[in-house]
Amino acid sequence: FQPLMPDLHYYYIVELSFYWSLMFSQFIDIKRKDFSIMFTHHIVTVTLITFSYVTNLTRVGTLTLCLHDAADVVLEAAKMANYCKCQKLSDLLFLTFAIVFIVSRLGIYPLWILNTTLFELYEALGNFPALWVFNVLLVILQILHCFWSYLIIKAAYKAISKGKVAKDDRSDIESSSDEEETVPRSKTPHSTITTNGTGGANGTNGYLTGGTCSEEH
């Protein structure tokens, strides 16, 4: 029973459009082993954003979105560092991402968000059908968090033991630093080899590569 502030409204619009774009771009991006799990996550997230907006449960919705954004920012920074061949920076950012992810999604999310929606919300508003749908979707999200936390901890252990982040366990297609060290670079100055698992004229994720190789600079 709280008014929807304009900044929350636009925050919802931006987040909803972002996750819709992820859902569609997943079909044209590199296909990973957890394709179906990611697709399920996007469906649940879009449904939760829409559902919380319609039922005016925007405070719990914005808190959930903020928790997810906190870890995603560090993850994208680690990816960019990896693509730029900054291995040490990429490893540091990945370990930072692992800590932020586990603390936010295995600590704050269940102890704060789920505790509120499963127990406190029921005491405040009573029982209504939308509450059960809302809680089921939030619990599914937590199950996905546990699965990804296992993969992150596994990758972090390899990073600490081997001194660098290993290949992404979710994909057999995406190239990694391990593969790039064993495969010699082409001596042709106009090579079309890319660093994101795709080669040829299409380049990385469908974008055209430049006409010259980085060795010329």
pLDDT the model gives residue 96: 92
pLDDT the model gives residue 81: 94
Q: Which residue has the higher pLDDT, 181 or 80?
A: 80
∠ CA 69-72-73, nearest 5°, is 85
Q: How many domains does the chain have?
A: 1
In this predicted structure, the answer to whether residue 7 has a pLDDT above a threshold of 50 is yes
The residue range of the domain holding 53 is: 6-165
Residue type for position 56 = N
Which residue is associated with the tokens 């295995």? 106
Quickly state the pLDDT bin for 25 (edges 50, 70, 90).
confident
CA atoms within 13 A on the CB side of 76: 6
Quickly state the pLDDT bin for 192 (edges 50, 70, 90).
very low
Mean pLDDT of the chain: 78
pLDDT the model gives residue 101: 94
In a domain, 176, yes or no: no
The lowest-confidence range among 24-33, 77-86, 159-168 is 159-168
Residue 186's nearest CA partner among 210, 215, 211, 209 is 215
Give the C-alpha distances (Å, rounded to integers) separating 136 from 57, 78, 110, 142, 207: 15, 32, 13, 10, 39
Quickly state the pLDDT bin for 166 (edges 50, 70, 90).
low
In this predicted structure, the answer to whether residue 26 has a pLDDT above a threshold of 90 is no
In this predicted structure, the answer to whether residue 72 has a pLDDT above a threshold of 60 is yes
Burial of 215 (0-12, 13-18, 19+ CB in 10 A): exposed
Residue range 76-87: average pLDDT?
Answer: 92
pLDDT in tens, 105-119: 999 999 999 998 888
In a domain, 170, yes or no: no
Residue range 174-191: average pLDDT?
Answer: 43
In a domain, 1, yes or no: no
Helix (H), strand (E), coil (C) string for 59-93: HHHHHHHHHHHHHHHHHHHHHHHHHCCCHHHHHHH
> Does this model's pTM top 0.85?
no
In a domain, 198, yes or no: no
Give the C-alpha distances (Å, rounded to integers) separating 131 from 15, 81, 124, 125: 22, 42, 12, 9
In this predicted structure, the answer to whether residue 133 has a pLDDT above a threshold of 70 is yes
